[in-house]
Amino acid sequence: MTIKLSDQFTYQKLLRFTFPSIMMMIFTSIYGVVDGFFVSNFVGKTPFAAVNFIMPFLMILGSLGFMFGTGGSALIAKTLGEGDSKKANSTFSMLIYVSLLTGILIGALGILLLRPVAMLMGAEGQLLEDCVLYGQIYLLATPALILQFEFQSFFVTAEKPQLGLFVIVAAGCTNMLLDALLTAVIPLGLAGAAAATAISQVIGGCVPLLYFSRKNSSLLRLGKAHLDGRALIRTCANGSSELMSNLSMSLVGMLYNIQLMDYAGENGVAAYGVMMYVSMIFIAIFIGFSTGSAPIVSYHYGAGNHRELQGLRKKSMVIIGVSSLGMFLLAEGMAGILSGIFVGYDPALYDMTLHGFRIFSFSFLFAGIAIFGSSFFTALNNGLISALISFLRTLLFQTAAVLLLPLIWKTDGIWLSLVAAEVVSVLVTVAFLAAKKRTYHY
Quote the DSSP letter at residue 219. S
List C-alpha distances in Å: 174 to 26, 39, 331, 356: 15, 16, 27, 32
- 330 vs 225 pLDDT, higher one: 330
User: For 96-146, how does the pLDDT look when each residue is reduced to its tens digit (9 = 90+)?
Assistant: 999 999 999 999 999 999 999 999 888 889 999 999 999 999 999 999 989
The whole-number average pLDDT for the span 217-229 is 89
Quote the DSSP letter at residue 214. S
C-alpha 130 chain-centroid distance:
24
53 pLDDT more than 80: yes
Q: How confident is the model at residue 203 (pLDDT cuts 50, 70, 90)?
A: very high
Q: Is the dihedral of CA 203, 31, 164, 380 positive or negative?
A: negative
Q: What is Dmax (Cα atoms) for the chain?
A: 61
Q: How confident is the model at residue 14 (pLDDT cuts 50, 70, 90)?
A: very high
pTM of the full predicted structure?
Answer: 0.74
DSSP-H helix ranges across 121-160: 125-139, 142-157
Q: How confident is the model at residue 190 (pLDDT cuts 50, 70, 90)?
A: very high
C-beta of residue 395 within 8 angstroms of C-beta of residue 418 = no
- 32 vs 263 pLDDT, higher one: 263
- 94 vs 49 pLDDT, higher one: 94
Cα distance between residue 302 and residue 115, in whole Å = 47
User: For 402-435, how does the pLDDT look when each residue is reduced to its tens digit (9 = 90+)?
Assistant: 999 999 999 999 999 999 999 999 999 999 999 9
3-state secondary structure of 218: coil
The mean pLDDT of the chain is 90
Number of Cβ atoms within 10 Å of the Cβ of 215: 5
311 pLDDT more than 70: yes
Q: How confident is the model at residue 1 (pLDDT cuts 50, 70, 90)?
A: low
C-beta of residue 171 within 8 angstroms of C-beta of residue 200 = yes
The whole-number average pLDDT for the span 17-21 is 89
Q: What is the pLDDT of residue 122?
A: 82
Cα distance between residue 91 and residue 94, in whole Å = 5
Q: How confident is the model at residue 261 (pLDDT cuts 50, 70, 90)?
A: confident
Q: Which of 199-203, 254-258, 306-310 shows the lowest mean pLDDT across its residues?
A: 254-258
- CA-nearest of 237, 211, 296, 245 to 21 is 296
The whole-number average pLDDT for the span 158-184 is 89
User: For 313-347, how does the pLDDT look when each residue is reduced to its tens digit (9 = 90+)?
Assistant: 999 999 999 999 999 999 999 999 989 988 888 99
398 pLDDT more than 70: yes
C-beta of residue 270 within 8 angstroms of C-beta of residue 343 = yes
- Interhelix angle 45-62/142-157, rounded to 10 degrees, is 60
User: CA triplet 405, 426, 428: central angle to 5 degrees?
Assistant: 95
Q: How confident is the model at residue 32 (pLDDT cuts 50, 70, 90)?
A: low
For the chain, the residue count is 442
3-state secondary structure of 304: coil
C-beta of residue 52 within 8 angstroms of C-beta of residue 276 = yes
Q: What is the pLDDT of residue 355?
A: 95
User: For 60-105, how does the pLDDT look when each residue is reduced to its tens digit (9 = 90+)?
Assistant: 877 777 788 878 888 898 888 888 899 999 999 999 999 999 999 9
- 185 vs 249 pLDDT, higher one: 185
User: For 335-392, how does the pLDDT look when each residue is reduced to its tens digit (9 = 90+)?
Assistant: 999 899 888 889 999 999 999 999 999 999 999 999 999 999 989 989 889 889 988 9
